[in-house]
Amino acid sequence: MAPPTGNVVDSQSPRLLANQLRWDLTAEQIENMAAELTERTKLVYDRVGSQEQGEVSYENTLKALADVEVEYTVHRNMLDFPQHVSPCKDIRAASTEADKKLSEFDVEMSMRQDVYQRIVWLQEKSESASLKPEAKRYLERLIKLGKRNGLHLPEETQEKIKAIKKKLSVLCIDFNKNLNEDTTYLPFSKEELGGLPEDFLNSLEKTEDGKLKVTLKYPHYFPLLKKCYVPETRRKVEEMFNSRCKEENCLILKELVDLRAQKASLLGFNTHADFVLEMNMAKSSKTVATFLDELAQKLKPLGEKERAVILDLKKKECEKRGLEFDNRINAWDMRYYMNQVEETKYSVDQNLLKEYFPMQVVTTGLLAIYQELLGLTFHLEEKAQVWHEDVQLYTVKDTSSGETIGKFYLDLYPREGKYGHAACFGLQPGCLLPDSSRQISVAAMVANFTKPTPDAPSLLQHDEVETYFHEFGHVMHQLCSQAEFAMFSGTHVERDFVEAPSQMLENWVWEKEPLLRMSRHYKTGNPIPDELLEKLIKSRQANTGLFNLRQIVLAKVDQALHTQTKADPVEVFARLCEEVLGVPATPGTNMPATFGHLAGGYDAQYYGYLWSEVYSMDMFHTRFKQEGIMNCKVGMDYRNCILHPGGSMDASDMLRKFLGREPKQDAFLASKGLKVESNSLPSAC
């Protein structure tokens, strides 16, 4: 783990292809390396910050900071990633601790007024006018970030901001750690789990008295809420799920929201949302509010229709099972009847369908599609050093040049203590090294798909296939970007655009040709029957209204907490559930305390999922749907225009290049089953 030497190495250097990451660190090494990393990084900041005004140059200021950022990012990721994936509790704990220390250090460095001053001096020099475009963007970004940290404000204010930022980073880590480490389970008899398939029941651990343990992790929670026909079981699980870490996270959330508002105010913003949104495509909380309100208004009639259908299904089910009918839709009924809509109205039997999606077949098909579409070649590395035996490592080459562009890890199954969602982690940024050679990009996809059992392979639900395709889209964004600076590598684009490339690729799991390539019956080897395939594709429209209204509820909760002081999360969530979704929240629960995004870098930005879908649908329908979804030329255009720049360009410029015109909202609205009116663009376009 040598510090960067700055020596010039020739282009044949193995460093170019090197994956610098290692996963065999002990808890003690993690602690020590975190301390060493901060020490040597600080030396660079000290050196930059002590430059005389006349001496300040691109080399000794901007480039020095960029170079240390590359090394710092790689090592920081290596130290803080194990908290999400290591099978050893003490390593996860050490990694969490390291993350807290490094986050504190990040705050310290981001608040270096002396360093900021040197960058301002550099910008004032004539030399800065001749910088290359990306270096210029880097310079401007550093100044912007400096101002967003209040470095142009009096020292006293800066100290306040610094103290708040430090507290915030610790609170965020704790909030999500509480959720990840939650080991709550509920014991049920087989009868209480009626409706769930055999393979699910067989995969459950047992209590000493023979009951089946249902945890609150996704592979238990979602299938149960969708398939269990015993309402009382669903009620218990839904209530527990939305009460996870209620006490501790409720306190953390309150503090987070208060501190964010205080910081925004010190920096001269009306609200935390406005502070955050300044850097996004949306620019202001008013634009976001308008976007969400208009969409909610448009979707409302659809939601009403869907609720009526669900209520009717519930009435019939209650008659059939001899249950009392309460004439309302409860939170624990939603997924169950939404699933029934798919099964009855669209006749998609998810349990039958998943027999066609064994993990191995999906993985092979998915990887092949991505390789073909983006002009890439993947190789599985045998005996790669990884953090758990389930994990695989692949090398990625550009097919036409044969050049290695990166590597990715796949970590697909749940484990105790592992990160509970599906996500892509950038580990080594693809960017230029101090000697101007290129560092390959390394990323990891972490997910929690159903694990194989001795009797059955891992069979994926169709929505899991969609998640797989989505997250892998982020992996490709990380790998295909060829920015010069680590700050602009991979998915470092505007936060409300970051989902667009992955969302666009989700479309492939709703099209016949790619679906056939990703599926085969796990016993017979037969393809999905045509009829089932047609039904599946049609079912994309199922529950669109309710699903999107729920997304709007979450986005509005997030906006409310970050625009109104003293908003009560439970009250806000309950009110929006009633108003927007028309389904009440379960009394006694606290969904916002389980809403990891609020502490996971999505604060005031959850709307981004819907916002970026506007662009994802536009890209898909304008180019791929017109010119062929497996058309390699469009695939390469996509790689070059959208993935290649990383964050080195504004998203709106990339979009214009790829689309050949300004973006439009039409395809997005049509995908929601809504009538298209002209002039309904998000105002940022």
Region from 20-28, 191-199, 492-500, 677-685 binding Zn ion, contact rule CB under 5 A: 492-500
Per annotation, catalytic residue among 471, 494, 499, 613: 471
CB of 612 to Zn ion, least distance (A): 9
How far CA 657 is from CA of 7, 536, 651, 663, in Å, comes to: 38, 33, 10, 10
Region from 395-403, 456-464, 494-502, 562-570 binding Zn ion, contact rule CB under 5 A: 494-502
Beta bridge partners of 438: 432
CB of 279 to Zn ion, least distance (A): 18
Residue 53: left if φ>0, alpha if ψ -120 to 50, beta else—which one? Answer: alpha
CB of 503 to Zn ion, least distance (A): 7
Nearer to Zn ion among residue 333 and residue 499 (C-beta):
499
Using CA atoms, how far apart are residues 300 and 312, in angstroms rounded to an integer?
19
CB of 502 to Zn ion, least distance (A): 5
Nearer to Zn ion among residue 179 and residue 498 (C-beta):
498
- List the structure tokens of 376: 């890439």
Nearer to Zn ion among residue 489 and residue 502 (C-beta):
502
| Residues sharing a CB contact under 8 Å with residue 586, sequence separation 6 or more, in sequence order | 235, 238, 239, 242, 330, 331, 332
Q: 595-628 in b/e burial notation, b at 16+ Cβ within 10 A?
A: bbbbbeebbbbbbbbbbbbbbbbbbbbbbbeeee
| Number of residues engaging Zn ion in binding (CB under 5 A) | 2
- Show contacts with Zn ion in window 496-515 (CB under 5 A): 499, 502
Q: Mask: binding to Zn ion, 283-322, rule CB under 5 A, as x and -?
A: ----------------------------------------
- Exposed, middle or buried, 682 (CB in 10 Å: 0-12/13-18/19+)? buried
Is 579 noted as a catalytic residue in this protein? no
Using CA atoms, how far apart are residues 363 and 116, in angstroms rounded to an integer?
47
Phi and psi, residue 587, nearest 5° = -55, 140
Q: How far is CA 476 from the centre of its chain?
A: 14
Q: Mask: binding to Zn ion, 376-415, rule CB under 5 A, as x and -?
A: ----------------------------------------
Using CA atoms, how far apart are residues 416 and 390, in angstroms rounded to an integer?
13
Nearest residue to 387 (alpha-carbon basis) of 351, 356, 425 = 425
Region from 114-122, 386-394, 398-406, 495-503 binding Zn ion, contact rule CB under 5 A: 495-503
CB of 478 to Zn ion, least distance (A): 12
Cβ neighbours, 10 Å, residue 581: 23
CB of 611 to Zn ion, least distance (A): 13
Chain position carrying tokens 């029934």: 340
Region from 182-190, 343-351, 449-457, 493-501 binding Zn ion, contact rule CB under 5 A: 493-501
Nearer to Zn ion among residue 341 and residue 619 (C-beta):
619
CB of 498 to Zn ion, least distance (A): 7
Q: 434-459 in b/e burial notation, b at 16+ Cβ within 10 A?
A: bbeebbbbbbbbbbbbbebeeebbbb
Answer for the pair 611, 282: CB distance below 8 angstroms, yes or no. yes
Q: How many CA atoms lie within 13 A of 460 on its CB side?
A: 26
Region from 44-52, 189-197, 272-280, 491-499 binding Zn ion, contact rule CB under 5 A: 491-499
- List the structure tokens of 423: 């996500």
Q: How many CA atoms lie within 13 A of 84 on its CB side?
A: 25
Nearer to Zn ion among residue 494 and residue 499 (C-beta):
499
Nearer to Zn ion among residue 271 and residue 478 (C-beta):
478
CB of 661 to Zn ion, least distance (A): 26
Nearer to Zn ion among residue 499 and residue 666 (C-beta):
499
Nearer to Zn ion among residue 496 and residue 499 (C-beta):
499
Nearest residue to 226 (alpha-carbon basis) of 247, 250, 197, 198 = 197
Positions marked catalytic: 471
Residues that bind Zn ion in the complex, under the rule CB under 5 A: 499, 502
